[in-house]
Structure 1
Amino acid sequence: MNDIVRNDDSHARLDQLAGISRRLLDRARALGASQAEVSCSEEHGLNVSVRMGEVETVESTRDRGIAVTVYFGQRKGSASTADLHEASLEATVEQACAIARHTEDDPVAGLADAALMARPLADGNFPDLDTWHPWRLDADEAIDLALACEAAGREADARVSNSDGASFGSGESVSVYANSHGFIGRERETQHSLGVALITGQGDAMQRDAWYSIGLAREDLEAPAAIGRRAAERTVARLDPRSAPTGEYPVLFSTEVARSLVGHLLNAVSGGALYRRASFLLDSAGTRLFPEWFAIGEHPLRRHGLRSTAFDAEGVATRENPLVVDGVLQRYVLGSYSARKLGLQTTANAGGVHNLDVAANAGGLDELVRGMGRGLLVTELMGQGVNGVTGDYSRGAAGFWIEDGAIAYPVDELTIAGNLRSMFAGIEAVGSGFDPRSHIRIGPVLVGRMTVAGGG
Structure 2
Amino acid sequence: MSDPQILTEQMQQVKQRLAEVLAKAKQLGADAAEASMSKQQGLSVATRFGEVETVEFTNDGALGITVYQEGRKGSASTADLSDGALEQAVKAAIEIAKYTSVDPCSGLADAELLAYQPKDLDLYHPHTFTSEQAIDIAKATELFALESDERLTNSDGANFASYEGFKVYGNSHGQLVGYPSSRHSLSCMMIASAGDEMQRDYAYSVSRDYQDLWTPEQVGSIAAKETISRLGTRKIATQKVPVLFRADIANGIFGHLIAAISGGNLYRKSSFLLDALGDKIFPEHLNIVERPHILKGLASSSFDSEGVKTSDMDIIDSGVLQNFLLTSYSARKMQAQTNGHAGGIHNWQVSANGGDFDAMLKQLGTGLLVTELMGQGVNIVNGDYSRGAAGFWVENGEIAFPVAEVTIAGNLKDMFKSLALTGSDYDERGSIRTGSVLIEQMQVSGQ
Q: TM-score higher than 0.5 here?
A: yes
SS in 1 for 2:147: helix
Any residues of structure 2 matched to 1:226-245 within 5 Å, and which?
A: 226-245=218-237
Compute the displacement of 1:358 (Å).
0.4
Any residues of structure 2 matched to 1:67-78 within 5 Å, and which?
A: 67-78=64-75
CA RMSD of aligned residues (A): 1.2
Matches of 2:72 and 2:373 in 1, distance apart? 43
For residue 81 of structure 1, what is the aligned residue in structure 2?
Answer: 78
Matches of 1:288 and 1:81 in 2, distance apart? 46
What is the number of equivalent residue pairs in this alignment?
A: 447
Pick aligned residue for 1:193 from 185, 198, 203: 185
Alignment-mate amino acid for residue 9 of structure 1: I
CA-to-aligned-CA distance 1:54-77 (integer Å, 9 cap, x gap): 110001011111000000021100
Matches of 1:436 and 1:141 in 2, distance apart? 26
SS in 2 for 1:156: coil
Matches of 2:4 and 2:211 in 1, distance apart? 19
For the 8 Å contact 1:415–1:452, the answer to whether it is kept is yes
Compute the displacement of 1:347 (Å).
1.1
Any residues of structure 2 matched to 1:372-411 within 5 Å, and which?
A: 372-411=364-403
Compute the displacement of 1:206 (Å).
0.6
Matches of 1:202 and 1:94 in 2, distance apart? 64
For the 8 Å contact 1:249–1:375, the answer to whether it is kept is yes
Pick aligned residue for 2:43 from 26, 46, 52: 46
For residue 123 of structure 1, what is the aligned residue in structure 2?
Answer: none
Alignment-mate amino acid for residue 107 of structure 1: P
CA-to-aligned-CA distance 1:304-346 (integer Å, 9 cap, x gap): 1111111111111110011110100001101000110111110
Alignment-mate amino acid for residue 283 of structure 2: P
For residue 12 of structure 2, what is the aligned residue in structure 1?
Answer: 15
SS in 2 for 1:92: helix
Pick aligned residue for 2:91 from 91, 94, 98: 94
Pick aligned residue for 2:131 from 114, 133, 139: 139
1:446 and 2:446 correspond: no
Compute the displacement of 1:213 (Å).
0.6
For residue 279 of structure 1, what is the aligned residue in structure 2?
Answer: 271
For the 8 Å contact 2:377–2:385, the answer to whether it is kept is yes
Matches of 1:271 and 1:44 in 2, distance apart? 33
For residue 253 of structure 1, what is the aligned residue in structure 2?
Answer: 245
Compute the displacement of 1:202 (Å).
5.8
For the 8 Å contact 2:74–2:95, the answer to whether it is kept is yes
For the 8 Å contact 1:428–1:446, the answer to whether it is kept is yes
Pick aligned residue for 2:301 from 293, 305, 309: 309
For the 8 Å contact 2:428–2:434, the answer to whether it is kept is no
Compute the displacement of 1:8 (Å).
3.5
Alignment-mate amino acid for residue 80 of structure 1: S
Matches of 1:209 and 1:115 in 2, distance apart? 49
1:300 and 2:292 correspond: yes
For the 8 Å contact 2:185–2:207, the answer to whether it is kept is yes
Alignment-mate amino acid for residue 253 of structure 1: F
Pick aligned residue for 1:156 from 148, 151, 170: 148
Alignment-mate amino acid for residue 82 of structure 1: A
SS in 2 for 1:222: coil
- What percent identity do the matched residue pairs reach? 48
For the 8 Å contact 1:17–1:175, the answer to whether it is kept is no
For residue 324 of structure 2, what is the aligned residue in structure 1?
Answer: 332
Structure 1 unaligned runs (5+)? 121-125
Matches of 2:103 and 2:57 in 1, distance apart? 42
Compute the displacement of 1:80 (Å).
0.4
Pick aligned residue for 1:184 from 148, 151, 176: 176
CA-to-aligned-CA distance 1:390-425 (integer Å, 9 cap, x gap): 100000000000011100000000000000000000
Matches of 2:248 and 2:412 in 1, distance apart? 18
Alignment-mate amino acid for residue 369 of structure 1: L
For the 8 Å contact 2:151–2:194, the answer to whether it is kept is no
For residue 55 of structure 1, what is the aligned residue in structure 2?
Answer: 52
For residue 420 of structure 1, what is the aligned residue in structure 2?
Answer: 412
For residue 312 of structure 2, what is the aligned residue in structure 1?
Answer: 320
Matches of 1:303 and 1:219 in 2, distance apart? 15
Alignment-mate amino acid for residue 388 of structure 1: I
SS in 2 for 1:421: helix
Matches of 2:68 and 2:383 in 1, distance apart? 37
For the 8 Å contact 1:152–1:229, the answer to whether it is kept is yes
Matches of 2:160 and 2:19 in 1, distance apart? 37
For the 8 Å contact 1:250–1:376, the answer to whether it is kept is yes
Pick aligned residue for 2:160 from 141, 165, 168: 168
SS in 2 for 1:160: coil
Tell me whether 99-108 or 325-334 shows the greater mean CA deviation: 99-108
For the 8 Å contact 1:48–1:167, the answer to whether it is kept is yes
SS in 1 for 2:256: helix
Matches of 1:399 and 1:206 in 2, distance apart? 15
Compute the displacement of 1:7 (Å).
5.5
SS in 2 for 1:146: helix
Compute the displacement of 1:226 (Å).
1.1
Matches of 2:242 and 2:330 in 1, distance apart? 37
For the 8 Å contact 1:17–1:41, the answer to whether it is kept is no
For the 8 Å contact 1:35–1:72, the answer to whether it is kept is yes
